[in-house]
Structure 1
């Protein structure tokens, strides 16, 4: 006699519902359990919901994410807030290839432990169906992303020369290249490809796309090893307004990255805006320069436009700037090395304080007469007068070269 394999009705119903995607799974699970169900992304943004009475926010999940994410997702306690009222719930992580891709939440009310035991297998099965659905989404997205990335790559490296061609390709994804754009580079400092950093870049990429969508912009972005390149559409015409909007966008990304514990290693750089899409590759190169100079000079949000002398020195021929530095400050540096003096240090503070002797004295906690004596000594060694405007410009540029680690 052949044995028959019994499949519970709820498994069959959930499998059929999964053909309608996450919304179908969510609705069917809520119907089976007679409880509100929410499916979110890793940042708790709703992907699907069913039987919710009011807007619900997720307050916390028991255990750390590392404990939730294993080979088999656990069902753990969590808490929601509905119109300010706390509600108990349970949660199962949705995993894909060992990575957290979202959560399945159920509002359960009281007696959570008893209910978990009763419906554990249902939740685990629904979570596995969510994983399959997210895999389909991811594969489709990756396929589309390959075509997008090829196009973006060509833009960033100047391989596309015809404006009309760029505009036509952009229209495929709803990107309007008749408008001005600028390049923003986000990068992880000291990126290590063979560490967890690649996962961090993936998370940051997802976050940036989400913030762009929240800003009513269609994301034009690409991951490139340790960086994420964003082609940011500018809706205004005033430069100051555009800079303010970009700063606000970057700040929103940084706040979200801080929640994910990524902000302490993230740095940015912004190129100049361009109304010609075939010249966006220039903005990309400028954004990378702004990023690198921003790191060296500790500039919070470095715009290439705002760098001035720094960008000229950074891009200039290395041998030239070394010779310039030696010609301007070489004698003074050698004097300090031989005599153990602090004349270079004093002069650097003087330049940093716009050659104001009072501000410099306060910054170094020195008497003005002591400073005057040191500056007289500097003038003797350099055979230059420090009140000469051209001399001051040369000294300022030389110290900029030193800051940019060009020597």
Structure 2
């Protein structure tokens, strides 16, 4: 019996080595383990996202692509070369029994798990840990290639944003990346929410960058970090109308947001988008516009959205004054109303903002606020008295609109 077990262990190890030599990748390695154990096996990254799955005619009970936190927790506690077991919840029926082992040092690449109601043979635990070692070899090699590609991307992005080239032909010779510099391109700047500490936690920033680099579908792009922000250069097959460009960017950011939601510790992220230019030669302009859009969007618009430079209107010009001076202007215009609301427990500032959001339409504002028209007229009249202005004058409307835009969501 011991001879048969040793023979099967050698046969299993030989299959793993053959798969590595044939560059079968993670699916090939997991398929060998699945066939040997006749049970579903999966590989998840450190955050619990399923990277690879092999299941012999069974449906894995977590179709959303995330393993239960129990598997991640047990795997993180398990020393390399060892396994841990437990029962993970399923959406229907009894829990799913599993064995899990870390992949790489301190689970740097994630966790390998086998799911089975009857997997209790200690002799087969070695197959699980051996497969995890083989997966680590593949993932470390892939990581090295990715690092080289990322370094090349970051160097290209830095040259483009800093405009360190005489012409695009020179830039194309300098960078071997298969990136068509003649296509229409635009820049996005993405940053996680700074609420609370005023800075983005390193773990959140790293996870956001990892998600962006995962090749979110819907766009062809290169990405590079800049401090706590991520710069995305998007290329398009042809010039788009402003409306079509915005739609594609919003769809892409929406997909990124959907993927990022479980992994950013409850923090939203915001994006600023520059204008679309005919080629990469002007991408540094789009980058400056994207930074401006992000900064104004952070200050004056709701968190978690996309702010387009194209939509900023007069703020594109006023931004050159600097955000401190714009904040000072907003405080001067609306400060008395904020102080009155604080002292009397009223919502005159909110009423005024809603009035402008409804294009100064009394009926629409009344409906949105859920108040009678007479109540709305009283509140607006009171706001005029507190601010000592006449809302009917065009110059007053301009000042109020600008100030309200700057403080909205701040």
State TM-score, norm by structure 2.
0.74
- Say what the alpha-carbon RMSD is for the aligned residues: 4.4
Over 3 Å counting, the alpha-carbon distance change for 1:164 and 1:328 in structure 2 is same
Does the Cα contact within 8 Å between 1:93 and 1:100 map onto a contact in 2?
no
C-alpha separation in 2, matches of 1:85 and 1:39: 23
Secondary structure at 2:234's aligned position in 1?
Answer: strand
1:146 is matched with which residue? 151
The 5 A counterparts of 1:57-72 are 57=60, 59=62, 60-61=67-68, 63-70=70-77, 71-72=79-80
Does the Cα contact within 8 Å between 1:79 and 1:86 map onto a contact in 2?
no
C-alpha separation in 2, matches of 1:161 and 1:187: 31
Does the Cα contact within 8 Å between 1:181 and 1:273 map onto a contact in 2?
yes
Q: 1:209 aligns with which of 206, 210, 213?
A: 213
Gaps of 5+ in 2: 1-5
C-alpha separation in 2, matches of 1:161 and 1:192: 44
Q: 1:244 aligns with which of 247, 256, 265?
A: 247
Over 3 Å counting, the alpha-carbon distance change for 1:78 and 1:257 in structure 2 is farther
Residue 28 of structure 1: how far off its partner (Å): 4.7
Of stretches 84-93 and 140-149 in structure 1, the one that deviates more from structure 2 is: 84-93
Does the Cα contact within 8 Å between 1:56 and 1:80 map onto a contact in 2?
no
Residue 97 of structure 1: how far off its partner (Å): 4.3
1:367 is matched with which residue? 375
Does the Cα contact within 8 Å between 1:91 and 1:103 map onto a contact in 2?
no
Of stretches 298-307 and 356-365 in structure 1, the one that deviates more from structure 2 is: 356-365
C-alpha separation in 1, matches of 2:272 and 2:353: 26
1:277 is matched with which residue? 280
1:178 is matched with which residue? 182
Structure whose alpha-carbon radius of gyration is higher = 1
Does the Cα contact within 8 Å between 2:192 and 2:267 map onto a contact in 1?
no
Does the Cα contact within 8 Å between 2:302 and 2:409 map onto a contact in 1?
no
Over 3 Å counting, the alpha-carbon distance change for 1:93 and 1:20 in structure 2 is farther
Over 3 Å counting, the alpha-carbon distance change for 1:316 and 1:105 in structure 2 is same
2:100 is matched with which residue? 92
Residue 34 of structure 1: how far off its partner (Å): 6.0
Over 3 Å counting, the alpha-carbon distance change for 1:92 and 1:235 in structure 2 is farther
In the alignment, does 2:131 pair up with 1:126? yes
C-alpha separation in 2, matches of 1:245 and 1:260: 24
C-alpha separation in 2, matches of 1:191 and 1:376: 33
What are the Cα deviations for residues 341-361 of structure 1, in whole angstroms up to 9, with x where unaligned?
979736556545444455566
Q: 2:83 aligns with which of 56, 74, 96?
A: 74
Does the Cα contact within 8 Å between 1:269 and 1:302 map onto a contact in 2?
yes
Secondary structure at 1:45's aligned position in 2?
Answer: strand
Secondary structure at 2:296's aligned position in 1?
Answer: helix
State TM-score, norm by structure 1.
0.74
Residue 197 of structure 1: how far off its partner (Å): 3.8
Residue 247 of structure 1: how far off its partner (Å): 1.1
Q: 1:287 aligns with which of 287, 290, 294?
A: 290
Over 3 Å counting, the alpha-carbon distance change for 1:375 and 1:403 in structure 2 is closer
